[in-house]
Structure 1
Amino acid sequence: MLAQRTEQVTGLGPMDIKFTNRLSYKQARLTVLVGFILGTLLSLIQIGIDYASEDASINREIQALMKISHDTASRIAYNIDTELAQELTGGLLKSPAVLRAQLIDNNDTVLADVQRPRLQSRYRPLSDFLFGEQRQFQDRLFLAHMPKDYLGTLYLDVDTYAFGGRFLDRAGVTLVNGFARSLVLTGILLALFYLMLTKPLVTVIAALSGNDARTPRQTRVDCPKGHENDEIGVLVRVANQQFVSMATEIQQRRTAENRLTQYLNELEDIVSARTDELKASNSRLSLSNQELDEARQRALDMAQARAAFLANMSHEIRTPLNGMLGMIALALDSGLAAEQRQQLSIAHDSGKVLVELLNDILDLSKFDAGQLELERIPFDLGAMVEDTANLLSQNAAPSVELTCLIAPDFPSTVLGDPTRVRQIVSNLLSNALKFTRFGRVDVRLSSIVGGVRLEVCDTGIGIPEEAQARIFQPFTQAGAGITRQYGGTGLGLALTRNLCKAMQGRLNIHSETGFGSRFSADLPLPTHTEAIPPAPLSGRVVALGNAGSGLAELLGQLLPRWGLDYTRHDSAAELAGSTVDLLITDDLDHVLDLRPGILAPILLVTAYGNFLPSEQAAQLAPLQQLARPLARNALYQTLRRTLLGEPSAPLPHEVPTSQALRARVLLVEDNPVNQLVAKGMLGKLGCQVQVAAHGVEALECLEQEDFDLVLMDCNMPVMDGYEASRRIRQGGRWPELPIVALTANAMPEERERCRAAGMNDYLAKPFRREELLALIDHWVPLSA
């Protein structure tokens, strides 16, 4: 590369540089340009001053001319001498600037009016632009001894070109002189810069071009005379130093190249040996990759087999569970002895526990397979927490107080997956109730930045610090003794933590052995609808009970915000002589002692299934009874009925008791037990049911009769539910007919498969009558 550069430099002669690229030309050009700009600015300033002077001279000269003619014109106007007026105006017209002269008397009689044409020139437009095309002057005529007597007016029209042409001539001379000075200055500076700068540099370039830095001898360039101490002398000294350094470096590089050639020969031998080793390694790596591909394929086959196994297991277990739970539910609706009802209730609860265990196992398998999908829809989280707590309250020990404490400003609805959030609430609450035998279990719900916080606090056995990390592992509890004493599978907390992570949330635990536990789940559920305060109430409400109870905390949080005058007392003796609109208590042991000393209505809050018998309730009339945990809406409606005397509102999804036809339903189901279960539930809901054992029979029924809803099982002989649904949609005769899938396959892809076949909704087995009623209310509303 160094040799190439040297050849390029030596091939460039000093006179090969273009004239416009030389330093002397560039420096002279810059100097002249600056001088030309400054000279032009000064010339323009001079022209501007001359213009102002010339513009003022027009008015001065014409005013002087009119002043000279004033007395003569005044006497002519006084004597009304037209002949003299003609002579005067003719004399004024001899001035080169005057185009027209006019003299009139005080009666507006024209005594003289003479004029001549304007001069024409190619520069006239520029003059007219600068000074105007023409100007008119007038002089009021009077005699010196009678200045107030008006005798007439002398008018003069002046052509400004006489002055403008003179100005333009001077301006042109000024500009030409400036340009000529710039040219002369350019030539002088160009010669000076060439002699002082370009010529010495050309000499140095010629000397450098004649030297070859590749030669081993040291070279030297002579400095031009007179430039030993200026920049050119410094340039020559630096060049001489560089020649010395380059010659030394070239010699060193030649030595290094010889050594490098020797190293390259040795390296070729090493590379050849290593190449043979790499070929052997590549052969072994190819064999390993083949084994890894085979292992990966086996893993995929195993995952598919596991998914198929889970789907089949879900179907095979849920189908008999649906029949068992459905039949038990139907039996519980019939007239039974107390002992039989208790036995069937225990069997029904055990079946529900088995369904929950199956759901937990399937959800964990979805996490492992990465198949869990989350919805994002608005739902009422507060009502969901209260409903879930109400369902699980039957699992609470008799001496445990279960309370739902929802912040008054908590949003009405939030955005998220209600099914998965309900699982979190249910698992945490079930865990707290299982390990708490005395005290309180509180479910708290509040808003935080970016979401909500769900807390479940209990006064149970607590969790040792060393076991707190272990309890989140599947099928693991705090200790073997826990499993023997309390039971359980150890799946709930593992699933809850996975659900929180899937929602981008966080699950925290704070626990101490013997003092209870607090599980806190922070979930990013944004607000969809802000809290809507209910209509205010009025009245005085008194609560009797312990200040540290959950009921006291709930009432103290809600009732004042509803506009009620609320106080709490430890005993009824403190109420002597006071007026009360409603008394609330949870003291079941002493509630009968309140009558007849207290005449106000009583609201008794009891544990699940612990209501007073009818004869005792009659002694306390007027009496309202609510089970723990108190729901906000139920408490509010009870207060409205008691304090305002309003009738009770119907409960949502209340099972109809009339015998009127609710809907005509086609049930497509091949399992005889499930047929009986569904027919029994639908019959109690006021529906007329037609049963078909498979898809072909269902199509025949649709051809013969009209139906409001089709409940379609998916796995059937002859024709399954997917094909039957596709045939119904392709037929075109029933485009608006709702088709709801009834399937025991709870895997996530099953819902999409049903929708792809043309089904409108999905209900997994085993299902409850409330779920079936909600489905009918949605697809066959009462107003239809």
Structure 2
Amino acid sequence: MLGKRTDPRLLPSMDISLTQRLSFKQASLTVLVAFILGTALSLIQVGIDYASENASINREISALMEISHNPAARIAYNIDAELAQELVLGLLRSPAVIRAEIIDNSDMTLARVSRPPSTNRYRLFSDFLFGERRQFETPLFVSHAPEEALGLLRLEVDTYAFGSHFLRRAMLTLLTGFARSLLLSLILLVLFYFMLTKPLIEVIRALSGRDLHAPNRNRLPCPRGHERDEIGILVDATNQQLSSIAMEIEQRRDAEDRLTQYLSELENIVSARTAELEAANARLLESNQELEQARRTALDMAQARSAFLANMSHEIRTPLNGLLGMLALSLDGPLNNEQRQQLSIAHGSGKVLVELLNDILDLSKFEAGQLELESLPFDLGTLAEDTASLLSQNALPSVELTCLIDPRLPAQVLGDPTRVRQIISNLLSNALKFTRSGRVDLHVDSTQTGIRITVRDTGIGIAEEARARIYQPFAQAGVGITRQFGGTGLGLALTRRLCEAMQGRLELESKEGFGSRFCAELPLPSHLPAPALPALTGRVVALSSASSGLNELLGKLLPAWGLEYRRLDPDSNLDEVAADLLISDCPECLPGMRPTCQIAILLVTAYGSFLPSEQVHALAPFEQIARPLSRQTLLQALRRSLRQQMESAPAPSLVEQQSGHRARVLLVEDNPVNQLVAKGMLGKLGCEVVLANHGAEALSQLAQHDIDLILMDCNMPIMDGYEASRRIRQGGHHPELPIIALTANALPDERERCRAAGMNDYLAKPFRREELDALLERWLPASRAPSATP
């Protein structure tokens, strides 16, 4: 096979077309360059000729007028019309002059002659370059009296007499340049053929006659005269390659002989391996069947787990809703201090159970990939302050909790307020749990890419080797931490996953024994710009240490609000202090202060650490506020203390307004305890309640009463909430009536199931009165009763 001769039809053809030859390409390229350069030079020459011709028109006519000046001046002086006519006729003999006239000093024409301009098909080019006509005139005077004007000599010139000469010269210049380029191309084509193309064709013909599959060590001949140029080098390189090919063919033949021997041995090996593979395939098939069975078992277990979570959610949330609801209603009634404290502890314990249940369900959503995030506008600053205020009761009296909001923070951002509140709550709860003394600071700042939530504490810190473990569910920094501080280990794991779900990140800086710093970067876009800062006047003095959170908060807010702010140490003398308000976080510094200090006092203390009434009376004018201070609370306290006008105060937030709705609500609930809870909350919110025990009764009540909103439980006997909602929507009589789902099933597919049934919104049990109030405000905004103006 290696000795087979190559088919001559596969050899390169010697018949190369003219346009594909190297000589033609080289000559055409050279001529093209020469043609371009020649054309450019010809154009330059034509341009120079044009400028010279253009100037010569004016020179020749000016010379003609100078010659005719003196005779024309004598004629105008003597007013000789006959001689004037002879002069202008003589001027008209010039081929360029088409009109001539002599005018005396009284504007009377002594003589005028004219003739039509010549016509030609090339005149258009001449007129474009030189203009169609040019007019010349010169004043007439005698040499001994140049200041006395005798008249004018006017000439009108046809430029074509000059332009035609220029066009002929330009055409001749361009044609000769083209002819030179053509001649050069023919000469170069012949030279390149003999110098390049012909010797290459000889080399190609010699090379094409070789059989590259047969070993042949004969050298290719080199064309005469090209032994030392590029063609000779090409022939030498080709000879070397041909020698290498011949050697390689010989080696390949030897290799083929050895390969034939190896193939026979390989066939024996393959037959043995085939038997082994068949046995392995049988074992693999059996393993695949076992894996398929394991996969089905895992799917069944996942479905069983989802069903278990749904049942657990429903079975736990239903009694919790009744428990927390009844406790909340009881706390609103008349109680003594001991009863209120006991019920508050029970209510707080119930909320801890709800948070633990929510964390477990949220982790199950993450594992199933079913967590859905909302995109709603909300006030992040107020949300952070409200969350810190709710968690302040978990702080020890020796821990100072401070909430610092960036003044540049947008009034509203777009995101999921529930999940953002969950992130802040988890980080703050974690910091308060592990901090026995010092400070816990919550910073909310605006960044170029969104917002930054930072929680810094002075607690026990986290060891380097434990930082990766704290983000795992049900894991903490150590067993001793769990025994000493408690907790389930879900908070940080859930917080990190929430940040990642929002396309953000959670960072940690900590040193064991010196505290920790958690920073959540969230890309929440701005919805409304930062609100305008309030304008106040007055002088405020803070009696606090330089390292306190109160000093940092006041130093950031008060100067921005227009107030003069100064800090004094707790042991400072206040006799000569000139101020309108004294703010302090040091209760032990206040007793005995009133005889020497008549400044209004604002005391900031820990949650539940208020002064007794007799001491408050002795310090009047006096006001005390629990920390952490929110911006709105501080602003209202400053306005009261400084007696500022209230016209510029911002509108109170939703949590500061007195809730009140004038609406009739249909409550569809089968559980008697939950009925009492929901009726109590709706009654305190100003709503009239119509009760139904199941979906069929709800349809009957809806036909008898005018209903503004329906609270629909999902799981009920006779007719559940899904079927009842579908029938209400299919009836077509209440297309805009809001239907709110009440369900203890908090799994992710429950919300979609409610929406598919025709419900507008979703409220998971157990719910707080604030959540119910916010839901009524969303769906019944026109029913809110006007709040009393403060």
What TM bracket, shorter-length normalisation?
0.7 to 0.9
- Which amino acid letter does the alignment assign opposite residue 633 of structure 1? Q
Whole-Å separation in 1 of the counterparts to 2:653 and 2:83: 125
Match of residue 747 from structure 2:
747
- Closer, same or farther in 2 for the Cα pair 1:345/1:3, shift >3 Å? same
Change (3 A) 1:110 1:351: closer
- Deviation of residue 766 (structure 1)? 1.8
CA shift, 1:668, in A, is 0.8
Task: Give 1:697's aligned residue.
Answer: 697
Single out whichever of 406-415 and 348-357 deviates more from structure 2.
406-415
Q: How far does residue 692 in structure 1 lie from its aligned partner after superposition?
A: 0.4
Q: Name the residue aligned to 1:439.
A: 437
* Other-structure match for 1:373: 372
Q: More displaced, 27-36 or 668-677?
A: 27-36
Q: How does 1:184-583 map to 2 (within 5 A)?
A: 212=211, 216=215, 218-220=217-219, 243-336=242-335, 338-397=337-396, 399-407=397-405, 409=407, 411=409, 412-435=411-434, 439-447=437-445, 449=447, 450=449, 451-458=451-458, 470-477=469-476, 486-503=485-502, 504-508=504-508, 510-512=510-512, 515=513, 517-524=515-522, 526=524, 528=526, 529-530=529-530, 532-541=532-541, 543=543, 551=550, 554-555=553-554, 558-559=557-558, 561-562=560-561, 563-571=563-571, 574-576=573-575, 581-583=580-582
Give the C-alpha shift of residue 310 in structure 1. 0.9
Task: Read off the aligned partner of 1:782 and give its amino acid letter.
Answer: R
Q: CA RMSD in A?
A: 5.0
- The one-letter code of the counterpart of 1:709 is L
Per-residue displacement from partner, 1:352-390 (whole Å, max 9, x unpaired)? 232222223222323333333333434344433433343
The answer on whether the counterparts of 2:318 and 2:766 sit within 8 Å (CA) in structure 1 is yes
Q: Secondary structure at the match of 1:666?
A: strand
Structure 1 residue 122 displacement after superposition: 6.8
Q: Given the alignment of the two structures, is residue 762 of structure 1 paired with residue 780 of structure 2, yes or no?
A: no
Structure 2: state its 5+ residue gaps.
Answer: none
Check the 8 A contact 1:378/1:414 in 2, yes or no. Answer: yes
The alpha carbon displacement at 1:693 in A equals 0.3
2:661·2:685 contact (CA, 8 Å) conserved in 1? no
Question: What do the CA deviations read for 1:139-170 (whole angstroms, capped 9, x no partner)?
Answer: 99999999999999998888887777777777
Q: Which amino acid aligns with 2:757?
A: A
Q: Measure, in 2, the Cα distance between the counterparts of 1:550 and 1:173.
A: 96
Mark the CA change 1:280 to 1:588 in structure 2 (over 3 Å): closer, same or farther.
same
Deviates more, 1:124-133 or 1:687-696: 124-133
Counterpart AA for 1:713: D
> 1:694: how far off?
0.7
Which residue does the alignment assign to 1:675?
675
1:688 aligns with 2:688: yes
Q: Is the 8 A contact 2:98 2:114 kept in 1?
A: yes
Matched, 1:714 2:714: yes
The answer (yes or no) to whether the contact 2:381–2:405 under 8 Å persists in 1 is no
Distance 1:620 1:522 in 2: 43
Name whichever of 745-754 and 105-114 sits farther off.
105-114
For the residue of structure 2 that corresponds to 1:575, the secondary structure is: coil
- Give the secondary-structure state (helix, strand or coil) at the position aligned to 1:734: coil
1:562-617 deviation digits (Å, cap 9, x = unpaired): 41454435359x33466664455556567564555655544444444444555554
Q: Percent identity?
A: 62
Could you tell me whether the CA contact under 8 Å between 2:403 and 2:630 is conserved in 1? no
Shift of the 478–537 alpha-carbon distance from structure 1 to 2, 3 Å rule, reads: same
| Residue number in structure 2 paired with 1:632 | 631
Distance (Å, rounded) in 2 between the aligned partners of 1:681 and 1:662:
14
Greater mean alpha carbon deviation, residues 473-482 or residues 761-770: 473-482
Q: Which deviates further from its counterpart, 148-157 or 331-340?
A: 148-157
Contact 2:427/2:518, CA 8 A, preserved across alignment: no
User: d(CA) in 2 for partners of 1:555 and 1:128?
Assistant: 87
**Structure 1 residues 137 and 282, CA, compared in 2 at 3 Å: closer, same or farther?**
same
Match of 2:724 in 1: 724
The answer to which of 678-687 and 216-225 deviates more is: 216-225
Is residue 653–residue 774 contact of structure 1 (8 Å, CA) maintained in 2? Answer: no
Amino acid at match of 1:627: A
Q: Secondary structure at the match of 2:302?
A: helix
State which drifts further: 734-743 or 703-712: 734-743
C-alpha separation in 1, matches of 2:93 and 2:689? 128
CA distance in 2 between partners of 1:2 and 1:217 (Å) = 11
Tell me by how many angstroms 1:778 deviates.
Answer: 3.8
Taking structure 1 as reference, are residues 254 and 742 closer, same or farther at Cα in structure 2, changes over 3 Å only? Answer: same
Amino acid at match of 1:763: L
Q: Label 1:261 to 1:323 Cα distance change in 2 as closer, same or farther (>3 A).
A: same
Report the 3-state secondary structure (helix = DSSP H, G, I; strand = E; otherwise coil) of the residue aligned with 1:409.
coil
Q: 1:117 to 1:673 in 2, by over 3 A?
A: closer
Distance 2:214 2:182 in 1: 48
Q: Matches of 2:588 and 2:753 in 1, distance apart?
A: 57
- The structure whose Rg is larger is 1
Establish whether residue 737 from structure 1 lines up as the match of residue 737 from structure 2: yes
C-alpha contact 1:446 1:452 (8 A) present in aligned 2: yes
Give the direction of change, closer, same or farther, for the CA distance of 1:429–1:27 in structure 2 (3 Å limit). Answer: closer
Task: Flag the 1:121–1:471 CA change in 2: closer, same or farther, 3 A.
Answer: closer
Residues 655 and 314 (structure 1 numbering): CA distance in 2 closer, same or farther, change over 3 Å? farther
User: CA–CA distance in 1 between the matches of 2:389 and 2:463?
Assistant: 29
TM-score calculated relative to the size of structure 1:
0.79
Mapped to 2, the partners of 1:550 and 1:39 lie a distance apart of: 86
Structure 2 residue aligned with 1:782: 784
Question: 1:539 and 1:151 mapped to 2: Cα distance?
Answer: 98
Query: Offset at 1:554?
Result: 4.8
| TM-score using structure 2 length | 0.79
Contact 2:81–2:111 (8 Å) recurs in 1: yes
The one-letter code sitting in structure 1 at the alignment partner of 2:663 is: A
Tell me the CA shift for residue 723 of structure 1. Answer: 2.0
For residue 470 of structure 1, report the CA deviation from its aligned partner: 4.7
Matched letter for residue 7 of structure 1: P
**Counterparts of 1:159 and 1:70, CA distance in 2:** 21
C-alpha contact 1:712 1:739 (8 A) present in aligned 2: yes
The change in CA–CA distance for 1:689 and 1:2 in structure 2 (over 3 A counts) is farther
Question: Aligned pairs, how many?
Answer: 773
Distance 1:86 1:654 in 2: 112
Deviation at 1:671, TM superposition (A): 0.6
Question: Structure 1 residue 715: deviation in Å?
Answer: 0.9
CA distance 1:736–1:255, shift in 2 (3 Å): same
Cα displacement (A) at 1:37: 6.9
Q: Tell me, yes or no, if the aligned pair for 1:467 and 1:478 is still in contact at 8 Å.
A: yes
